[in-house]
């Protein structure tokens, strides 16, 4: 940065006569450096001339200010650049794109930590806008990887007072166009071309299109694209988690790359989410109805601001449907399809857990199975009759009960016919495991306290211990004790 030339210095008016129009795809940083080069001024002179004094010294070694164009007075920059329009200056930054996707005051942008240049672009006195983005690894036009360091080891920092487009290292004045080129390999070049095409498409679309009112609308539009093209995702869980949070520009590009869609598709998704939000906000709030708008059932569960149908699982507020497994005129088609897919996945998990419990002969109960399958046990939509998850558990319980009854009868039939009391006790042990203690004792006419004594004997010594308890021991010449008779 040269401190000898300021906006009020007469040298500024006498030594700055050469201008040129910005080229397509050029960054604001490269354009300002090109003006310094054309006029033979130290690198950073133009930046210093248009800098607003009240914000202090800029950090010129990082590209973020030139991506957002928030650190420069754009009107003064346009005047200093030969009287071009403000829109031409904004086109050299990501400001139109960021203003299209988010509100300008709430932008979080990921950028590379240092400038990167293409040696062939530097020979043309240009620094492309996409070279300042961390997702782009090389120049798609020349097929050369971007370089962030000079061969002398110094990082590329183009606004430090040296000759424009040259290294600032001690004793090194190598021009960026002289830096050795690193060609992109056959696998990296198609990826670079795809990412570059997505960015250029977004920059073109940003000049005209519907802008979301908040980051929430953009996140909903990205989820719409992800759900409509699930097969295109390489990391579905990671991408879904990043979309659910506040999405940045990198997430937007990743979604478009994973789904193979364009900025026009994203604009259509944004318009759809905005239209759906307007429809929902126009509906009256906290309205109660007597029947479900989906299935017409009157079995409803009333909550604070909504109602839930116990039959089909639909959540609604008046005529506004908030959640449904079925496609409805007032409910987004992609949301209904996503809910149906999640329901199918939940059914498969329930069946897998029930099969595992059945194979291991573990008791199939509703709450443990729901926890093992990661199903919300208190969710009406998932536990409604329409979902059928409870029916799957009940069917598995019936199968397990029948299998245990069959095993109990087989074990009891192995006892000799001459020991009917032992047969009864062995059958009781098996039925208690299949039907429960109360039901088994009621079916065989046994008091539950007696069952627990028999079960203790069975656990300690098996069938032989049960056989020993079948015989009533008496003392010679006396009647058996009452407690022995009751055994």
- Max intra-chain CA distance, the chain: 138
Assign 252 a pLDDT band (cuts: 50, 70, 90).
confident
> Which pair of structure tokens corresponds to residue 311?
């039959």
Tens digit of each residue's pLDDT (9 = 90 or more) over 291-308 = 888 888 888 888 767 888
Between the CA of residue 370 and those of 308, 353, 383, 484, what are the distances in Å?
Answer: 20, 9, 10, 46
> Which pair of structure tokens corresponds to residue 436?
């429960």
In this predicted structure, the answer to whether residue 422 has a pLDDT above a threshold of 90 is no
Tens digit of each residue's pLDDT (9 = 90 or more) over 424-433 = 888 988 898 8
If we measure between CA atoms, which residue out of 26, 18, 66 comes closest to residue 44?
66
Tens digit of each residue's pLDDT (9 = 90 or more) over 431-487 = 988 888 999 998 888 888 888 988 888 888 888 887 776 654 433 443 444 434 444
Tens digit of each residue's pLDDT (9 = 90 or more) over 170-193 = 778 888 888 888 888 888 888 888
Tens digit of each residue's pLDDT (9 = 90 or more) over 362-390 = 889 988 999 899 887 778 888 888 888 99
State the burial class of residue 479 (Cβ atoms within 10 Å of its Cβ: 0-12, 13-18, 19+).
Answer: exposed
Please, how many CA atoms are within 13 Å of residue 229, restricted to the half-sphere of its CB? 19
Q: Give the mean pLDDT of 270-295.
A: 66
In this predicted structure, the answer to whether residue 98 has a pLDDT above a threshold of 90 is no
Q: How far apart are CA 37 and CA 163, in angstroms?
A: 8
Model pLDDT, residue 351: 93
Compute the mean pLDDT over every residue in the chain, rounded to the nearest whole number: 77
In this predicted structure, the answer to whether residue 61 has a pLDDT above a threshold of 70 is no
In this predicted structure, the answer to whether residue 209 has a pLDDT above a threshold of 90 is no
Between the CA of residue 217 and those of 34, 158, 213, 221, 222, what are the distances in Å?
Answer: 39, 38, 7, 6, 9
Q: Which of 87-101, 162-176, 218-232, 441-455 has the lowest mean pLDDT?
A: 218-232
Helix axes 249-259, 215-228, angle to 10 degrees: 20
């Amino acid at each position: 940065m040269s401190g000898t030339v300021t906006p009020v210095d007469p040298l500024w008016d006498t030594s700055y006569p050469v201008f040129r129009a910005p080229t397509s795809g050029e960054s604001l940083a490269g354009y300002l450096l090109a003006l310094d080069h054309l006029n033979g001024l130290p690198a950073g002179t133009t930046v210093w001339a248009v800098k607003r004094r009240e914000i202090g010294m800029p950090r010129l070694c990082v590209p973020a200010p030139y991506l957002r164009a928030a650190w420069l007075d754009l009107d003064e920059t346009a005047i200093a650049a030969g009287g071009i329009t403000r829109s031409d200056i904004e086109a050299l930054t990501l400001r139109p794109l960021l203003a299209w996707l988010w509100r300008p005051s709430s932008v979080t942008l990921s950028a590379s930590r240092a400038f990167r240049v293409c040696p062939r672009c530097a020979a043309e006195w240009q620094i492309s806008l996409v070279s300042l983005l961390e997702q782009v690894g090389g120049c798609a036009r020349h097929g050369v990887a971007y370089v962030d360091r000079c061969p002398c080891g110094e990082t590329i920092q183009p606004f430090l007072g040296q000759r424009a487009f040259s290294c600032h290292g001690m004793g090194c004045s190598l021009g960026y166009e002289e830096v050795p080129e690193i060609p992109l390999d056959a696998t990296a070049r198609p990826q670079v071309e795809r990412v570059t095409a997505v960015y250029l498409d977004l920059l073109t679309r940003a000049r005209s299109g519907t802008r979301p009112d908040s980051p929430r609308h953009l996140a909903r539009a990205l989820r719409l694209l992800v759900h409509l093209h699930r097969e295109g995702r390489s990391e579905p869980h990671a991408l879904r988690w990043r979309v659910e949070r506040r999405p940045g520009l990198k997430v937007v590009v990743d979604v478009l790359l994973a789904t193979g869609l364009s900025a026009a598709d994203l604009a259509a998704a944004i318009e759809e989410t905005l239209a759906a939000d307007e429809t929902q906000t126009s509906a009256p709030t906290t309205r109660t109805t007597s029947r479900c708008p989906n299935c017409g059932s009157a079995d409803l569960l009333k909550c604070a601001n909504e109602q839930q149908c116990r039959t089909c699982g639909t959540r609604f507020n008046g005529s506004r449907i908030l959640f449904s497994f079925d496609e409805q005129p007032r409910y987004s088609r992609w949301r209904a399809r996503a809910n149906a897919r999640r329901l199918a996945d939940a059914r498969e998990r329930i069946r897998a857990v029930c099969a595992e419990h059945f194979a291991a002969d573990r008791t199939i109960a509703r709450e443990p199975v729901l926890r093992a399958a990661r199903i919300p046990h208190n969710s009406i939509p998932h536990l409604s009759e329409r979902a059928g998850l409870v029916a799957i558990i009940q069917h598995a319980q019936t199968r397990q009960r029948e299998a245990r009854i069959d095993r109990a009868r087989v074990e009891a039939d192995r006892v000799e016919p001459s020991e009917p009391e032992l047969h009864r006790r062995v059958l009781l042990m098996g039925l208690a495991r299949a039907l429960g203690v109360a039901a088994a004792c009621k079916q065989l006419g046994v008091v539950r306290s007696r069952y627990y004594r028999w079960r203790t004997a069975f656990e300690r010594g098996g069938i032989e211990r049960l056989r020993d308890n079948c015989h009533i021991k008496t003392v010679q010449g006396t009647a058996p004790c009452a407690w022995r008779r009751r055994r």
